[in-house]
Amino acid sequence: VNMTAYISISTLLYEYMEENNGRIICVSSMAGYSNGPYTSIYAASKHGISAFFENWRTELEMHKSDVSITVCILSLVATKSAMTAVKDILLESTIKRAANPN
């Protein structure tokens, strides 16, 4: 749903946006460009959003379209669920750095 909703809605409304100098703004994540444990589905959906809209933007520019596309790539946002998901990873990383300071 994460990726397909963005694509479905944007392509459905494309003609209207073309007629009205529309703007497409979507939110993706650095997770789409990196790897980490327990994030494969989330990362794949965010990579899909970035890849689709960055490529579509190039196609629209080639056709001199008035529709613009902005992809916002966010980093980790300190929400409760995000912090819960990464706390063990961060703890392990901190312990390794403390054990091997060089």
Residues annotated as part of the active site: 42
Please state, in angstroms and rounded to a whole number, the distance separating the CA atoms of residues 95 and 93: 5
Please state, in angstroms and rounded to a whole number, the distance separating the CA atoms of residues 42 and 3: 10
Sorted by sequence, the CB contacts under 8 Å of residue 10 that are 6+ apart come out as 24, 26, 53
Please state, in angstroms and rounded to a whole number, the distance separating the CA atoms of residues 29 and 46: 6
